[in-house]
Structure 1
Amino acid sequence: MEPRDEFCGDRSAGVKDPTGNHWWIATHQEDVSSTEIAERIKTLFSNKELV
């Protein structure tokens, strides 16, 4: 998975090594208040179509 910023203030990525192991790498980028997280979640899901 390409690196991406998460709504909770983290950045994460995933890779698969030659032996088939999946590795997840993450780091904390910013402190986000619970109010801001709720707004980001609302924005995230308002931009997606329900299938």
Structure 2
Amino acid sequence: MIKKLAFILSIIFIILTFAGAGYILFNGGKVNAGYACVPMVFALLSLSFYRKYK
């Protein structure tokens, strides 16, 4: 159960990371880089939980 939840959360956060990176590139880098960095941190945490319970 935890393994599946961590995997789904990691996929969601990876998609949000790429969406944030696209938003940054679309605005020419004038917006905060946190739109891509914060979801990537949560994606890495989710992937580490997934690997721990695998």
On whether the aligned pair clears a TM of 0.5, the verdict is: no
TM-score range, shorter chain: 0.3 to 0.5
Larger Rg: 1
**TM-score normalised by L of structure 2:** 0.32
User: Higher strand fraction: Structure 1 or Structure 2?
Assistant: 1
